[in-house]
Structure 1
Amino acid sequence: MDDIVRQAMAKWPNVPDCYGWLGLDSRGQWWMRDDRAQALGTFQSGIPGAKGSVLRHDKLIEFIQRNCEADALGCWYFQNGPQRVYIELEATPHIWRIADDFVVCSHTGTEAHVHKCLMDEKGKVYLCTHLGLGLVHSLDVPKAADALALAIWTLEEVVEADMPAQYGYVMSPQERHKASQQA
């Protein structure tokens, strides 16, 4: 986490959390979700416009990626100064890219060590690593197949709906927050 972020957290310790405004898609792209986008539906809904606008500012993306982590409940967030901006996930907290030599990196650029390779009932491929679970980027699925063919990794089957609970992440912190407010 950046020092400037830690300093802001110390200076303003009681800033309310932010929900629904930031999303990570299945290709590792960040999305800004304004009120209009949120009114159209959830990030995961597939409704045109509900995802919001894809972020293109490299420095902002780098700042977000340096300052992301998960809370104790498995909700991923970006620490934006003193405020936690919770992240809506389209798939998983990490999107993996696989190099030709089978080195795996997260969408953030962080290298990961693979523990196991998984495939769900829809044929989506995931890697469980020391950083956590992530979806393999669609362009890199052939490289994952090569790693399996070379016995670098072995394949286990999983059920997509079971994965958030099994691997400890929350797809929609916003929905979780709404449910806790109504309870």
Structure 2
Amino acid sequence: MDDIVRQALAKWPNVPHCTGWLLLDRRGNWRMRDDEAQARGAPGEPIRHAALLAFINRNYEADAGGQWFFQNGPQRVYVELGYTPWVVRLGLNDGDGAKATLTLTDQAGNAFEPAAAYLDDEGGVLFTDTSTPPRIAVLHDHDLDLFSEHAELAANGDAGRFHWRDGMTLPLQPVARAEVAEQFGFVASPAQAAAPKNAAS
């Protein structure tokens, strides 16, 4: 978290939280959602400003309840998730002429070292990493072809192996997309979680 954000939190500790206005989509794009976009259930407009994107990425965290947020100065802006809190790109690093190795990079541009791999029931590929607690990330759909070049799938398509690098192979474990948030401990929609429930009649 940026020092300027910590200072703002200390100065204004009781600024109300914000929900519904910021979305991380399935391809790792940050999107701003105005009232109209929220009313229509639309993803909103992509944020293109490089400095703002860097600021969001540096101040992106989760609370104790698994809700991800961007700390915007003194205000906590909770993030709607298109799928998982992290989105990764799979690439090849030539290594200055050495044998090419696979790389995973999250939406903030940081290296993501996989510890486990999963296949969901809609054809998505997910990874957890080696951090504590582990982060869960979905693979960008543009990288599925490269993934398939380094994977072996079982005949039923819901298991197999992913050949990472340096002799490291990860079993591909099946997971239901509808159960991913609960299984990996995150809240996909803080706005819905915060919405008041209808009173019982």
Question: Aligned residue for 2:16?
Answer: 16
Structure 1 stretches lacking a partner, 5+ long: 42-49
| Aligned residue type for 1:2 | D
Question: Aligned residue for 2:142?
Answer: 139
> Could you say which structure has the higher helix fraction?
1
Counterparts in 2 of 1:3 and 1:25: CA distance versus 1, 3 Å: same
How many angstroms apart in 1 are the aligned matches of 2:197 and 2:63? 16
Structure 2 stretches lacking a partner, 5+ long: 93-100, 153-161, 164-168
Counterparts in 2 of 1:182 and 1:28: CA distance versus 1, 3 Å: farther
CA deviation string 1:8-59 (max 9, x = no partner): 0000000000000000001110100111111112xxxxxxxx1111111111
Larger relative contact order (C-alpha < 8 A, sep ≥ 6)? 1
Scaled by the length of structure 2, the TM-score of the pair is: 0.82
1:113 Cα deviation after fit: 1.4
SS in 1 for 2:170: coil
Which structure has the larger Rg?
2
Counterparts in 2 of 1:8 and 1:181: CA distance versus 1, 3 Å: farther
| Aligned residue type for 2:180 | M
Counterparts in 2 of 1:161 and 1:68: CA distance versus 1, 3 Å: same
Contact 1:102 1:143 (8 Å CA) reproduced: no
SS in 2 for 1:140: helix
| Aligned residue type for 1:94 | W
How many angstroms apart in 1 are the aligned matches of 2:27 and 2:198? 31
What percent identity do the matched residue pairs reach? 43
CA deviation string 1:119-155 (max 9, x = no partner): 1111111111135111101111223223334633221
1:181 Cα deviation after fit: 9.5
Scaled by the length of structure 1, the TM-score of the pair is: 0.90
Question: Aligned residue for 2:73?
Answer: 81
Question: Aligned residue for 1:36?
Answer: 36
Question: Aligned residue for 1:54?
Answer: 46
| Aligned residue type for 1:133 | I
Root mean square deviation, CA, Å? 1.7
Among 65, 88, 94, the residue aligned to 2:86: 94
Q: What is the aligned length?
A: 175
How many angstroms apart in 2 are the aligned matches of 1:78 and 1:181? 29
1:110 Cα deviation after fit: 1.6
SS in 2 for 1:115: strand
Counterparts in 2 of 1:182 and 1:86: CA distance versus 1, 3 Å: farther
How many angstroms apart in 1 are the aligned matches of 2:188 and 2:198? 18
Contact 1:23 1:89 (8 Å CA) reproduced: yes
1:96 Cα deviation after fit: 0.6
